[in-house]
Chain A
Amino acid sequence: MDFPVFHLDILGNRGLIAVIATLHVLVNHGLAVGMMPLVAAMEWYGHRRGDARWDRLAYRILFVCFLITTTVGALTGVGIWLSVSLVNPYSIGSLIRVFFWAWFVEWLVFITEVLLILAYTLTWKRWSTGAAKVRHIRLGFALAFFSWVTMAIIVSILGFMMDPGNWLSQQTLWSGFANPIYLPQLAFRTPLAAAMAGVIAMFLVPFFVKREDPFRATALRAIAVWTLVAAPLVLAGGLWYFSVVPEAMRENFGVALASLAFAEWQQRFLEIAALTVIAILVVVQVAIARPNLLPRVALLVPFVAILWMTGHFERVREFVRKPYVIGSYMYANGFRVEDYPLLQRDGVLAYATYSNPLTPAEQAGLPQGLSEAERTARLAEIQLGKDVFMTTCSRCHTGHGVNAVTAHLKRMFGDRPWEPELTAGYIESMHDAQPYMPPFPGNRRELKLLGAYLHHLQTNDAPVPGAQQAGVVVVTPEARAAAATGRPPATRAAAMPRTSETAAR
């Protein structure tokens, strides 16, 4: 990783991406991909039946979607990108080099989608009769189609990250695009979006149609049928998806343990999916048979269940691709599989351009009674250890926040001193113990340095700042040479005053 390291020590870097991405998936699937065809269908049906009530309801639902998709939806879409390029610049940078044209086409489709939703919403009242109305309905279906296409393209990139398939040998766009997980994932997400939209629309109906109005029951019933059709397809898509994933997983680990863990995840997912579908079916049955008896809160049950299922699905997706960001090509720490022999021989620090300066708070907690020279040497060692930590662990672990490395060590080793020998032994084989983790990329000396840093964390719980807060120190060639040879890093020590000076500024 040759960029300054952005780091969030409380929420965790993955937490940032997760918050933004979850919001986006929710809005995109529930309010765009699934909802636009539903709205267009309602408009069409109302027009065919000459029933203005459908039209009014469709417009109101659309307006809610318009407000949310053009704010939260659009910006979280860009936000996924911004956050990933902060957290994993090398992975998004590599993906863009492979998928530039896919993204470019995605963007053109996205422009079309935005123009269509603007046109569809803003012309609703004006194009309300005769030929204009027919044109308007077509606009709605075009919008539905393009919303789906944007998802269809992005899903390919998600699938690629899990299993690049032939791309590893061919390195062309098409070979990356047609990766093995693509179709099953699309087959799962499409009905998922439709079901989500159905449940959300049912939730919105009571806000827009009065209780006394018999149309309320009619609308609920129709949307319920829509949802009823989608729900079993969700389950079918999920089953297909989960039947191809183990194959992809074998590429990634081939470790019995991982398969075991996966079997558990899969079991979990199927249980949740079954529960979700049952919840949907029950609520929908009530909506169809006795729409007036359906309390509004009851609709929250299938909604929450769908969210839960989607969340679990995305987590499994993330899990399956670990320890890679791009299957079999690049690990989640940003190093290519091909880089390992070099780095394990020379060390990661030998190729690091930046150092992550210790703040004064991070320097506290050294043992009492050290001489000034000992202190300096100790801090220099901890500084190097921190740099190892930031380049090899910080993409997945914080110091003291979510998925904190200190919490793991405390669980494993308790309060006894985390001597470097103790932790280094574990880290050396951590990829066997926990297959989500890539093998340690550095060399033996760096293992010890990392151990010294982790030991220091036992007595120092200052938050670990990222480059966005503490800046970076550029590693000079002399400092790098010292770090690589393992001589007492005198030049690093010389760099320390600069560090604290910049920190004090």
Chain B
Amino acid sequence: MSPTTPVPHDIPLPMPAPEPLLVAVLIVFFLMHIVFVNLMVGGALMSLYYELRGLKEKRYDRLAYEIAATITANKSIAVVLGVGPLLAINTLYTVYFYTANALTGAFWIAIVPLVIVAFVLTYVHKYLWHQMERVRWLHIAVAAAACLLFLFIPLIFLTNVNLMLFPDKWGSVQGFFSALALPNVLPRYAHFILACPAMTGLLLVWLFRRRPEAEIAEMGFSRAELVRLGYRWAFWPTMAQFIVGPIAFFTLPHVASPIGGVIAAFGLSFLLAFALCVVMIREIRGPDGSIGRRFGTTCALMLAVVALMGVGRHLYREAAVAPHRAQVEAKTKDYIRRADEARRAAQARDGAPASVRP
């Protein structure tokens, strides 16, 4: 570690819970959070896409509306599920997380107004859909603005969680954009963005697989058509992940600690993703009558892939900060010892010092 790598001392209070428990909270709820974020972002993008197609062919407009309607619940669940992992990351990675936040502070806090605006726009888009039919272009502009926000906000989070892993960069970063330019941020971002339509595609399959025949007919599609369409959205982006995923992996900065576990987790998820794609292509190619039969398998495989990604991600994070964390711990101990000594010395010198209550 170079001499310009900062080694601050940590907050001198014990952890509130056993570490494995905090790690479990972090991984499990973060994955749930990110799935709903995927649904929210993917929903916004796909709703815009189909609304544009709907200009020519009315039934796509109805599909776009159906997708827009899902965002209302998904976005609220996404936000609320993010709070638990935030709590855990605050506790487990106090020094790392707060430092990264401060260094990108202006954008970090801008998350609050940006998300509010994005949410208000999605409400306008959904609840004024029919009222705004005469001003279509404005309605589309609203959706486009929401999409741009939804595309930008994850970048702020990614920049932060990336910067927190690399204490040797903390002294040279100046604001958000220089932190954004660190290697690996953009590949990870691409990896995330591709997951959005994939997850939303599966949501569509779930939505239309069992929907009453009459409602489906009203939309102007056949059930098999809609289910297949959902699967396609899940299939092609996932195929692209076979290229983007490895790029994101190989651009991860080198870390000193062994990363066998990381490679195992990502390797296994790679294999499972392959199986997932095989199942999906069989669904897509299969006859109309039986489409959707393997939806359970598909979801189970997707879940396994995502869970392994989460585990690999955590193991890498641990490997990246472990040596530094040991130094921070030593420094914190040393600091507490010195503070105690100085306090005793002061008490011995002049009784109870004025600034410390007896």
Contact = CB atoms under 8 A, between A and B. Distances in A.
Of B80, B84, B111, B123, chain A has the most CB atoms within 10 Å of the CB of: B80
Interface string B167-183: 00011111110100000
Interface in A13-61: 16, 20
B342 to A, nearest CB: 4
A341 B108 contact: no
A99 B171 CA distance: 32
A74 B357 CA distance: 40
Nearest to A82: B109
A346 B341 CA distance: 12
A458 interface: no
Closest 10 CB pairs of A and B: A468-B105, A100-B16, A342-B342, A79-B112, A471-B174, A474-B171, A341-B346, A89-B98, A2-B8, A97-B13
B238 interface: no
A97 B15 CA distance: 6
B7 A353 contact: yes
B171 A338 contact: no
Interface string A194-216: 00000000000000000000000
B11 interface: yes
A436 B219 CA distance: 65
Contacts of B108: 82, 86, 468
A469 B87 contact: no
B258 interface: no
B279 interface: no
Contacts of B306: none
B174 A469 contact: yes
A79 B173 CA distance: 24
Contacts of A351: 9, 335
Given A351-B9, A471-B178, 11 more contacts: A3-B102, A75-B115, A99-B16, A104-B84, A104-B87, A107-B84, A114-B76, A115-B77, A337-B356, A468-B175, A473-B171
Interface residues of A, number: 70
A89 B338 CA distance: 22
Contacts of B174: 469-471, 502, 505
Interface of B: 3-9, 11-17, 25, 72-73, 76-77, 79-84, 86-87, 90-91, 94-95, 98-99, 101-106, 108-109, 111-112, 115-116, 119-120, 123, 170-176, 178, 335, 338-343, 345-346, 353-357
Which of the listed residues B81, B342, B353 has the most CB atoms from chain A within 10 Å of its own CB? Answer: B342
A469 B176 CA distance: 8
26 contacts: A4-B102, A67-B123, A70-B119, A71-B119, A74-B80, A75-B115, A75-B116, A75-B119, A78-B82, A81-B86, A82-B112, A85-B90, A86-B101, A86-B108, A92-B90, A94-B11, A100-B16, A114-B76, A118-B73, A173-B16, A338-B339, A338-B340, A342-B342, A353-B7, A468-B176, A477-B3
A468 B13 contact: no
A241 interface: no
B356 A93 contact: no
A371 to B, nearest CB: 30
Contacts of A89: 94, 98, 101-102
Nearest to B174: A471
Given A75-B116, A97-B13, A341-B343, A86 B338 contact: no
A301 B170 CA distance: 51
Nearest to A2: B8
B80 to A, nearest CB: 5
Contact of A345 (B82, B109, B342): B342
Given A2-B9, A4-B99, A122-B73, A340 B90 contact: no
B11 A97 contact: yes
Contacts of B112: 20, 75-76, 78-79, 82-83
Interface string A351-387: 1011000000000000000000000000000000000
Contact of A4 (B3, B76, B103, B345): B103
A143 interface: no
Given A3-B98, A107-B87, A328-B357, A98 B16 contact: yes
Nearest to A351: B335
Of the candidates B9, B25, B112, the one having the most CB atoms from chain A within 10 angstroms of its own CB is B112
Contacts of A110: 80, 83
A254 to B, nearest CB: 10
B102 A5 contact: yes
A353 B4 CA distance: 10
Interface of A: 2-6, 16, 20, 67, 70-72, 74-76, 78-79, 81-83, 85-86, 89-90, 92-94, 96-101, 103-104, 107, 110-111, 114-115, 118, 122, 173, 328, 336-342, 344-346, 351, 353-354, 439, 466-474, 476-477, 502, 505
A99 to B, nearest CB: 8
Nearest to B343: A341
B87 A342 contact: no
Nearest to B14: A97
Contact of B79 (A20, A74, A82, A340): A74
Contacts of A466: 102, 105
A100 B16 CA distance: 6
Contacts of A76: 112
A120 to B, nearest CB: 12
Contacts of B173: 471
B6 A83 contact: no
Contact of B16 (A85, A97, A337): A97
Contacts of A101: 16-17
Contact of B76 (A74, A81, A353): A74
Contacts of A79: 109, 112
Contacts of A98: 13, 16
Contacts of A353: 6-9
Contacts of B355: 337, 340-341, 344, 439
Contacts of A341: 339, 342-343, 345-346, 353, 355-356
A340 B103 CA distance: 27
A446 to B, nearest CB: 16
Contact of B11 (A72, A93, A439, A502): A93
B103 A467 contact: yes
B119 A90 contact: no
A118 B81 CA distance: 14
Given A75-B112, A97-B15, A353-B6, A118 B102 contact: no
A476 B73 contact: no
B277 to A, nearest CB: 33
Contacts of A467: 102-103, 105
